[in-house]
Amino acid sequence: MNLFDTHTHLDAPQFDEDREETIRRAVENGVSRMINVGFNRETIPSTMKLAETHDFIYAAVGWHPQDAITMKEGDLEWIASLCSHEKVVAIGEIGLDYYWDTSPKDVQHRVLRQQIGLARELGMPIVIHNRDAHEDIVKILREEKASEVGGVMHSYSGSWETAKLCLNMGFHLSFGGPITFKNARQPKEVLAQVPMDRLLIETDSPYLTPHPFRGKRNESANVRLVAEAAAQIKGVEVEEIARITTQNALERFGIK
């Protein structure tokens, strides 16, 4: 099976004791490519190191909404300079997070708009983090003409109505561990309706661990469990989900 984990954080401290073993385990479970996401001053350099060390690991770099208040003059230029690296395939994860009260909303909005503008300038897709901010996310994506570059709605958790708006702006929808949870009705209902050519899968490891390992550290090998759940929801074989989502990811991120 050929799987693509489109969103992981293998540089997280949770992997400090067994990072290379974790990466090997993912490969052994059919994961042929991964995108590691650097989202602040600490994780961008460690993400770049992973991408430069492993042929099959790519990088997304951006400024997370929770860290928006820490973004300083020059950081946007830093991100721009990294986007010329052959292994950097997207700007992200960027977006809005109204759940954690770590950055004021107006600061989150400004940082998001700046990064969408950069993505349009460079012709890079964006990876959107959205937690409890569905209306404002859609509004800003529209106003900043994010449809010109498109991207990915990471770990999608909104309604089908919001999903349609995102799809109409050229975005792919990515799903992770929550589609394996018994009580996660909405993401399953949305996934069932997403066109196959706009579907992606991810782990967001070490977070959002799928059933039956919920509560434990997540890792990229578990994207197989996400693929199996997606296959059941879509009524197709898991190999078909693996093939289609991998092809979608390669095309979305411009990977040869």
Q: What is the DSSP string of 198-213?
A: GEEE---BTSSPPTTS
pLDDT at position 101 is: 84
pLDDT at position 155 is: 98
pLDDT at position 233 is: 98
pLDDT at position 55 is: 98
User: What residues of the chain score a pLDDT lower than 50?
Assistant: none
Yes or no: say if 79 and 118 are a contact pair by the CB < 8 Å rule.
Answer: yes
Yes or no: say if 199 and 229 are a contact pair by the CB < 8 Å rule.
Answer: no
Q: What is the pTM of this model?
A: 0.97
pLDDT at position 111 is: 98
Q: What CATH number did the domain enclosing 207 receive?
A: 3.20.20.140
Yes or no: say if 73 and 36 are a contact pair by the CB < 8 Å rule.
Answer: no
Q: What is the largest CA-CA distance in the chain?
A: 49
- pLDDT tens digit sequence for 106-127: 999 999 999 999 999 999 999 9
Instruction: In whole angstroms, give the CA distance from residue 38 to residue 14.
Output: 15
pLDDT at position 121 is: 98
Number of separate domains in the chain: 1
pLDDT at position 102 is: 95
82 Cβ neighbours under 8 A, 6+ residues apart: 44, 48, 59, 61, 88
Q: What domain range is 98 assigned to?
A: 3-252
Tokens standing for residue 32: 């042929």
